[in-house]
Structures are given as structure tokens and as C-alpha cells.
Amino acid sequence: MNVPAVHISGLHKSYEDTKALCGVDLTIKDGQFYGLLGPNGAGKTTTIHILTGLVLKNEGITEIYGKDIVKDFRFTRSQIGIAHQELPIDWFFPLEKLLYFHAGYYGITQKKAKPRVEELLERLGLKDKRTSRLRQLSGGMKRRYQLAKALVHDPKILILDEPTAGIDVELRHELWDYLRELHQNGKTILLTTHYIEEAELLCEKVGIIDKGKIIKEGSPADLTRELGKAGINVHITGWNDELKNAFSDYSYTLEDNRLHFTVRDPEEVMASIIQILSNHGCQIHSVSTEKSSLEDVFLNLTGKGIN
Amino acid sequence: MTGTNWVGLYTLTKREVGRFFSVYRQTVLPGLISSGLYILIFGFTLEQRIGEIDGVPYTLFILPGLIMMNTLTNASSNASSSMLQMKLLQQLPDILTAPLSSLELSLAYIIGGTVRGMVNGILVLLLGVLLIDMPVHHPLATLGFIFLVSWAFSSMGLLLGQLADSWDQLAMMQNFFLTPLSFLGGIFYSIKMLPDWAQQLSLVNPIYYMINGLRYTVLGVYDSSPLNSFLMALFMTILFTTAAILLMKSGKKIKQ
Ligand SMILES: Nc1ncnc2c1ncn2[C@@H]1O[C@H](COP(=O)(O)OP(=O)(O)OP(=O)(O)O)[C@@H](O)[C@H]1O
Ligand SMILES: [Mg+2]
């Protein structure tokens, strides 16, 4: 399909006293795994909420598979399954029943939903919790319930607002595996997260959002290559002034016989640096590289850590 | 999916009804118990000292009022508390992101409250029939009227539930408006027993018409024309249903 799964353009939103979104542009291709990264209050949740009809936009285009989210809300909402950042509380109904309710809201009868509900309970390890109330579940179980709920009507697009917040390492890896599997089976996924590692591992494309605007987009690898600062450390003896000329095109520092080069792609330039050093009679004692991560890119762009 | 999301509407309605049945000790029994107590206290003690009103023994006379009070407080509090609870407990996003129209959402809440109002009203009615052999003059009209009032006050509940931000505000509506207006609407007396000015005042109390109307369908007696009562109930039904649905459509209080 050529129509993008999600298309947002020039999206603006003000709450009473805060401008939350100042012209968000975002396109997600069908089948893509997209990560929205940004510090607290950047506008991630607001963007998602507008897309799913929870928050009213001020202006901008918001389309799901080419259909307007307000005019064609029945179509667009049916395509989306969402796991909200905030966990719900409910003490009236058992978990299983809540899943059937949720399927029902999407027009799926209990009978038709049964195999799907069973499969999700099994897959997400909630089988023996089927009669529990939400308040009896741990935080991790609630997150899994959220995911089951988002998937119960088998949507084409899965939106996850910080799905792994407050989850232990083991469960996080299990969830990642599951998300990869869903993606391989063709689901389009939009994920927001505070764990850069998560975005780096899972997402094909990452958008960095800050102060209500997407300030950079690309694959994690492209972003780190383009914006990250990697380095090469070389421990030498025999520095001389000729080397100053030879390295005039490089950005480096020298301290206690330790050279530090700031480069984009260490693998690419390492050989030539070593070559120049040995040509000028330097003794090389050790070489090491440091690769920049998406985290550094993020820091560079937003000026703050993601947590 | 085009047209109406029937399965969705049915599911949400089922949830609304299931919600109050699952806590029937809070939502069904209290009204039944307090009405039973009124019947016992008035029937066995005070009735001997209070004369008949409009030729009706006192305990019988107050029953339609008790039925109405139960009906309308339960109908209104179901929709209002359910809506507020969903807001406060982060459940609202689940139904707002589903392919349900504002009309479908509103109807589900209103029907939920209507069912609760009717269940409560009819149970007190049965209590009266069983305990004191209350005759029901116009059974169908009685059921129809209980339905209409339940719908009207359930819609009002949905309106209030959307407007409210806290339990405090809902309790205030209940304690400062609904309960006083019910008591002043002539549950325990005929307004003919009041001084002139108080009679006039009663005529602007909508709940007076609800009680008066039901007293007619059950006992066949009334203070003012049953037609007026019916028209008032119809008017409130239309007014509150429209207001609740329009507010839901605008999303003003439930979406930002
Ligand atoms: N209901 C609201 N009323 C007023 N302001 C709001 C509301 N919701 C969000 N905001 C404001 O809008 C901005 C964006 O918030 P949003 O929740 O979209 O950020 P976020 O990127 O999801 O942050 P986080 O990572 O903390 O979840 C913030 O300044 C926030 O204070
Ligand atoms: Mg958020």
C-alpha cells in the first residue's frame, strides 16, 4: 500500500496555558516501526491523543491511511490499537471481561473475539490472571494487559505510549521480542519511549521531538552517523610539529601523549590516522574507538537528557 | 464499519448495566431498605395518627413519592458517577478512542442509568404491592412514566457527570438539589395542605410533577393535571437528552 499509515502535517495544539504542539509533521509508512523520542513534556502523548480522538487539535492535517481522523473516525479508529501511558484502574470487572468489552467497542462480538482473547492471554502470560481485577495486578502485568487490550481487535496500527515504563529488564526484553514479532507480521508500530536503547534496537525510523516540534528524523544508524560525535583515542610517544600540519584537517586534542580525535565514523578514518602517525615516526601504544549513541545525538539536539 | 456500531453500543450498555448490578449492595438495596423502613414506620405507627389524604391511607399516599425519589436519584447518580469515575480512573480513553460516536456513547450511559432507575423504582413498587397491597390503577402508564422519568434523570446525570470534576460536586448536586426538591415535591404531603405561597412555589419544582404524575397512575389521585406531569417529564427528557448529547459531541469537558 502506498498511502502512509499515519500522516500528520502542521499539527498545532494549545492547552489553556501551554502550547503543546507547534507544527508537528510526521509520516509513518505502512508496516514501519517508528519511534518518537523526546524529553518530558515534548508533546509525544498529545500527538498520539490527537491521532486517536482523545484530544481535539487546533489545526493541522491528521490522517490514517489517507482518511481524516475526525470525518472518518469509525474507519481510522478501527485501524488503531493504543496502549496508553497512564494505566487504568477498574474494580468492577475481571480482566478477561474487560478484554471482551474492548473488542465489543470495536464491533466484535464476544463469540468472535474469543480465540483472539485466548491467544493474547496466553502469549502475554496473563492466563492465570483472567479472573483478577486490574487493581490486583502488578505494574508489569497491567502493562501487558494494556498491550493485550490494544491488540484485541487486531488493528493494523499499534500505538504504544511508553509501553515499557516501570518494567523489569527481563519483561522488557520479552516485550521487545513480541513487538519485533508483531512488526514482522506486518503491523505498523508507533512507539514513544524514554529508553533510547529501545528505539535504537527496535525502530526503523526515529523522530526526535522537542518543544512541540519534530526536530530531526532518520534511522537510528543515520542519525548517529550524521549527528553523533564518535572518537578515536591514540596513546603515542614522539609527537612533533610536522604532525600539526598533517592533522590540520582533523579535530583533535592532545594531552599527556594522548590524542583524541573527534570524528563521525571511526572505522572510516582510523586507518588514515594510524598511517599518518607512523609515517611521521610516532610510536603507537594503543588505539581505541568510542562510538556515539543515539543518546548523544539526543543530548546534542535537545540539550537535555531524555530522563 | 459504517452506520451504527451496534455491537459497540450494546457492549457499552451492557457494561453500564453490569457495573451497577455488580455492586447491587450499593446501588439497589439501599433504596429498597429505606423505602421498606418508611412503609413500616408509617404503616404500623404513624398512620393511625395521620388521617387519609384525598381518601387514601397515608402509607399508600407516600408510596408513589418514594418510588419516584428512588427512581430519579438512582437514574441520575448512575450516569453521573459512572462518567466521573471513568474520567478519574483513566477508563474514559478506552471508549473515546474506540469507533463509537458521541451519540452511541451517550445512549449507552443514558440507557444504563435508565435501567437502574427503573429497577429501583419497580422494586419499591413491588414492595408496596407485596407489603401493603398497593393497588396499581394504570399499570402500563405507571411503567411508562417510570421509564420516562428514569430516562430524563439519567440524561441529567450524564450531563452532570461530564461537567463535574470531583465527587464533591456530584454529592453537592445530590444533597442540595435533588434530595430537597424531592422532599419538597410532595412525597409526604399533598400540596393542597400547604399555604398559598408554598403551593405556588411547589409548582416550579419539576420533581413535584414527577411525583404527582406517578401518584395519578398508581393511586388515581392527583393535585394538578396528570397531563401537565406527563408534559413536564417529556420536556425534561428532551431537554436533558439533547444537552447531554450535545455536550458529549462538543467534547468540551471530556476531551481537551
Ligand atoms: N490536559 C492538559 N492540560 C494542560 N496542559 C497539558 C495537558 N496535557 C499535556 N499538557 C502540556 O502539554 C505539553 C506536552 O505534554 P505531553 O503529555 O504531550 O508530553 P510528553 O512528550 O508525552 O511527555 P512525557 O514524556 O512526560 O510523557 C506539556 O507542557 C504538558 O504540560
Ligand atoms: Mg507522555
A106/A48 same-domain check: yes
| Residue A93 CB contacts under 8 Å (≥ 6 apart), including other chains | A101, A133, B15, B18, B19, B22
Better-predicted residue by pLDDT, B55 or A293? B55
Distance from C-alpha of B135 to C-alpha of A108, rounded to nearest angstrom: 46
**Ligand 1 within 6 A of CB of A18:** yes
Do B98 and A15 lie within an 8 Å CB cutoff? no
- Mean of the per-residue pLDDT values of chain A: 89
A210/A263 same-domain check: no
> Which domain range does residue B98 map to?
6-250
pLDDT of A297 over the 80 cut: no
Ligand number, closest to the Cα atom of A304: 1
> Which domain range does residue A144 map to?
6-224
Q: How far is A160 from chain B (nearest CA, A)?
A: 14
Give the CATH number, domain containing residue A149.
3.40.50.300
Q: Inter-axis angle of helices B102-132 and B6-22, to 10 degrees?
A: 40
A41/A114 same-domain check: yes
**Lowest-confidence segment of A22-26, A38-42, A227-231, B5-9 by average pLDDT:** A227-231
Last residue of a domain, one of A171, A193, A224: A224
**B124, containing H or E segment:** helix B102-132
Last residue of a domain, one of A224, A239, A259: A224
A146/A249 same-domain check: no
Give the CATH number, domain containing residue A282.
3.30.70.120
Q: Which atom of ligand 1 is nearest to the CA of B256?
A: 1
Overall domain count for chain B: 1
Residue A191: predicted pLDDT: 95
* Touching B: A residues 129-168, CB under 8 Å: 149
Query: pTM, whole model, 2 decimals?
Result: 0.86
A259 to A272, A283, B233: CA distances (angstroms):
14, 12, 88
A234-258 core/surface letters (b: 16 or more CB in 10 A; e: else): bebeeeeeebeebbeeeeeeeeeee
A235/A272 same-domain check: yes
Q: Let me know if residue B227 belongs to a domain.
A: yes
Report pLDDT digits (tens) over B39-61. Answer: 888 877 877 778 788 888 888 99
A35/A138 same-domain check: yes
Q: Let me know if residue B101 belongs to a domain.
A: yes
Chain B interface, mutation test: which of A105, A153, A157, most B Cβ atoms within 10 Å? A105
Give the closest residue (by CA) to ligand 1 atom 17: A45
User: What is the 3 state secondary structure string of chain A?
Assistant: CCCCCEEEEEEEEECCCCEEEEEEEEEECCCCEEEEECCCCCCHHHHHHHHCCCCCCCEEEEEECCEECCCCHHHHHHHEEEECCCCCCCCCCCHHHHHHHHHHHCCCCHHHHHHHHHHHHHHCCCHHHCCCCHHHCCHHHHHHHHHHHHHCCCCCEEEEECCCCCCCHHHHHHHHHHHHHHHHCCCEEEEEECCHHHHHHHCCEEEEEECCEEEEEECHHHHHHHHCCEEEEEEEECCCHHHHHHCCCCEEEEECCEEEEEECCHHHHHHHHHHHHHHCCCEEEEEEEECCCHHHHHHHHHCCCCC
Q: Let me know if residue B158 belongs to a domain.
A: yes
Give the closest residue (by CA) to ligand 1 atom 22: A45
A182/A261 same-domain check: no
Overall domain count for chain A: 2
Which band of pLDDT confidence, cut at 50, 70 and 90, is reported for residue A266? Answer: confident
Better-predicted residue by pLDDT, A231 or A237? A237
Report pLDDT digits (tens) over B157-205. Answer: 999 999 999 999 999 988 888 888 888 888 888 888 888 888 888 889 9
pLDDT of A62 over the 90 cut: yes
A43/A80 same-domain check: yes
A133/A160 same-domain check: yes
A19/A149 same-domain check: yes
pLDDT of A79 over the 90 cut: yes
Give the closest residue (by CA) to ligand 1 atom 8: A46
Residue B230: predicted pLDDT: 95
Distance from C-alpha of A239 to C-alpha of B234, rounded to nearest angstrom: 96
Q: How far is A97 from chain B (nearest CA, A)?
A: 10
Last residue of a domain, one of A191, A207, A224: A224
**Ligand 1 within 6 A of CB of A283:** no
Q: Let me know if residue A165 belongs to a domain.
A: yes
Q: Inter-axis angle of helices B102-132 and B226-250, to 10 degrees?
A: 150
Q: Let me know if residue A303 belongs to a domain.
A: no
Q: Let me know if residue A273 belongs to a domain.
A: yes
A135/A112 same-domain check: yes
